[in-house]
């Protein structure tokens, strides 16, 4: 008998939430390279980016700007306003209906992007903001409509007319959905976007943002890290960063500090059999940014949920109190990615926040593990069996 007895094929709440989250993250994650290109260009070339700050330091002139940087900074706006949402709409369309879906998803996305122009909320293209939420909805939706059409006519076309019908059905559905996006969907997603922004603003201005860790840290460990980090916080953060030049929202889920603290606690005070596996995990987590690697250790010792939450909350508190943010997403959440997208003026406090969150997670974790004193010489199988029991409890209740 194996200890890995499979549970009934999964439709539990966790699998369902994960699936929806993976659908959202699946539209963002293949495009992270473009987000990072945008983040790096922003970090380097904007008025208070690295190049101008260094020029000011060297020339001792606080108003110095480098013309090359000023010109290059023109890339920032169009990338976030047009390229990134269109890539998301394209990818969303591709998930639903392959290459044809991708194309109509991209076409439809341009409509939601231009909504503020249609309603007089923006004077010109330069006033537009990114419409990630709109892209996340209309890309897959348009592809789904085309898919239904393709199913309808499949096998019914007269030979020789396939290409004509295929091209014009995609053109007409894509074009029509661009108009629907422009006038119909745009205002709805703008309202929802504003609602999100107001909620985030409320949390920030009332110093409540650290409470987000109560949701984010446990959700991460249940493998909702991509759903929350990339599916929700990256688009919201990019939205905020377009206006403010940086965003704290990029740091809520991706902070490598809490995971580092937990792994250190586990290395010194965890079950003896798993201690030797931890050092390699620390490298992968903190430098490589693959946070998944510490989740099993938390599931193995569920008291560590508290360490993760308090570590995450204290990191966010430092970030919020010092008013720091990242230029673009740090994805994967590696310390190296953090340094590459940190504004020059914020880097010290960002590192401080990471260190504090790691220290708090380690301290709380060490305390909850009883500094290893309660730890008998437990072997790996036993530890894993226990983790499995703990993990199956909530699912058994809902199954």
Partner 1 sequence: MATIDGSSIKKLIVACDAGMGSSVMLAGTLKKQLAKTGVTVEHSPVANIPADADVVVTQAGLADRARSTVPGVPVVPFQLFMGDPAVTKVVKAIQSGETVEV
Q: Shortest distance, CB of residue 148 to partner 1, whole angstroms?
A: 21
Could you give the CA distance from residue 268 to residue 270 in angstroms, rounded to a whole number? Answer: 6
Q: Shortest distance, CB of residue 204 to partner 1, whole angstroms?
A: 28
Residues 6+ apart with CB under 8 A from 324: 246, 248, 251, 342, 343, 346, 349, 350, 353
Could you give the CA distance from residue 37 to residue 326 in angstroms, rounded to a whole number? Answer: 14
Output 117 or 222, the one with its CB closest to partner 1. 222
From residue 370, alpha-carbon distances to 271, 349, 364, 366 in Å are: 11, 31, 10, 6
Q: Are 140 and 93 in contact (CB under 8 A)?
A: yes
Output 131 or 285, the one with its CB closest to partner 1. 285
Q: Shortest distance, CB of residue 101 to partner 1, whole angstroms?
A: 15
Instruction: Show the tokens assigned to 148.
Output: 């239904």
Binding site for partner 1 (CB under 8 A): 1-2, 4-7, 9-12, 14-15, 18-19, 22-23, 25-26, 29, 222-223, 225-227, 230, 274, 277, 280-281, 284, 288-290, 292-293, 295-296, 299-300, 332, 380-381, 384, 387-388, 391
Q: Shortest distance, CB of residue 102 to partner 1, whole angstroms?
A: 15
Output 53 or 292, the one with its CB closest to partner 1. 292
Output 47 or 279, the one with its CB closest to partner 1. 279
End-to-end C-alpha distance for the chain, whole angstroms? 23
Output 13 or 168, the one with its CB closest to partner 1. 13
Output 92 or 174, the one with its CB closest to partner 1. 92
Could you give the CA distance from residue 274 to residue 297 in angstroms, rounded to a whole number? Answer: 9
Q: Shortest distance, CB of residue 3 to partner 1, whole angstroms?
A: 9
From residue 276, alpha-carbon distances to 266, 271, 387 in Å are: 10, 10, 18
Output 49 or 270, the one with its CB closest to partner 1. 270
Output 263 or 307, the one with its CB closest to partner 1. 263
Q: Shortest distance, CB of residue 234 to partner 1, whole angstroms?
A: 12
Q: Are 8 and 65 in contact (CB under 8 A)?
A: no
Instruction: Show the tokens assigned to 306.
Output: 């508290």
Output 129 or 288, the one with its CB closest to partner 1. 288
Could you give the CA distance from residue 225 to residue 256 in angstroms, rounded to a whole number? Answer: 12
Instruction: Show the tokens assigned to 57.
Output: 């330091």
Q: Shortest distance, CB of residue 240 to partner 1, whole angstroms?
A: 23
Q: Shortest distance, CB of residue 13 to partner 1, whole angstroms?
A: 11
Cβ neighbour number for residue 12 with a 10 Å cutoff: 17
Candidates 351, 361, 360, 358; CA nearest to 319 is: 351
| β-bridge mates for residue 329, sequence order | none
Q: Shortest distance, CB of residue 168 to partner 1, whole angstroms?
A: 30
Instruction: Show the tokens assigned to 242.
Output: 């377009």
Locate the DSSP E strands across the chain.
none
From residue 13, alpha-carbon distances to 97, 354, 395 in Å are: 26, 32, 8
Q: Are 325 and 246 in contact (CB under 8 A)?
A: yes
């Amino acid at each position: 008998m194996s200890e890995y007895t499979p549970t009934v094929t999964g439709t539990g709440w966790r699998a369902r939430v994960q699936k929806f989250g993976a659908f959202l993250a699946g539209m963002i994650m293949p495009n992270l390279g473009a987000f990072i290109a945008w983040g790096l260009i922003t970090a380097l070339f904007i008025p208070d980016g690295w190049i101008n700050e260094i020029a000011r330091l060297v020339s001792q002139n606080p108003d110095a700007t480098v013309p090359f940087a000023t010109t290059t900074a023109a890339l920032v706006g169009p990338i976030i306003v047009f390229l990134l949402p269109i890539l998301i709409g394209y990818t969303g369309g591709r998930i639903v209906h392959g290459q044809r879906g991708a194309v109509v998803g991209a076409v439809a996305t341009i409509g939601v992007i231009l909504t503020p122009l249609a309603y007089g909320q923006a004077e010109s293209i330069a006033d537009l903001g990114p419409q990630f939420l709109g892209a996340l909805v209309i890309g897959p939706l348009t592809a789904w409509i085309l898919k239904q059409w393709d199913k309808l006519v499949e096998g019914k076309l007269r030979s020789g007319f396939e290409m004509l019908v295929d091209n014009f059905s995609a053109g007409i559905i894509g074009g029509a959905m661009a108009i629907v996006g422009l006038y119909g969907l745009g205002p709805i997603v703008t309202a929802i976007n504003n609602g999100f922004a107001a909620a985030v603003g409320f949390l920030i201005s009332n110093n409540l943002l650290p409470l987000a860790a109560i949701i984010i840290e446990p959700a991460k460990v249940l493998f909702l890290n991509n759903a929350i980090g990339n599916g929700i916080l990256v688009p919201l953060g990019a939205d905020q960063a377009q206006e403010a030049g940086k965003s704290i929202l990029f740091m809520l889920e991706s902070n490598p500090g809490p995971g580092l603290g937990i792994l250190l606690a586990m290395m010194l005070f965890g079950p003896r059999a798993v201690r030797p596996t931890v050092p390699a995990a620390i490298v992968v987590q903190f430098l490589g940014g693959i946070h998944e690697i510490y989740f099993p250790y938390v599931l193995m010792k569920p008291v560590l949920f508290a360490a993760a939450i308090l570590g995450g909350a204290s990191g966010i508190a430092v970030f919020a109190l010092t008013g720091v943010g990242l230029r673009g997403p740090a994805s994967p959440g590696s310390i190296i990615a953090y340094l590459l997208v940190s504004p020059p003026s914020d880097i010290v406090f960002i590192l401080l926040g990471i260190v504090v969150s790691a220290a708090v997670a380690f301290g709380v974790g060490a305390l909850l593990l009883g500094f290893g004193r309660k730890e008998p010489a437990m072997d790996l199988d036993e530890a894993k069996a226990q983790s499995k029991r703990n993990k199956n409890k909530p699912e058994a209740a809902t199954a």
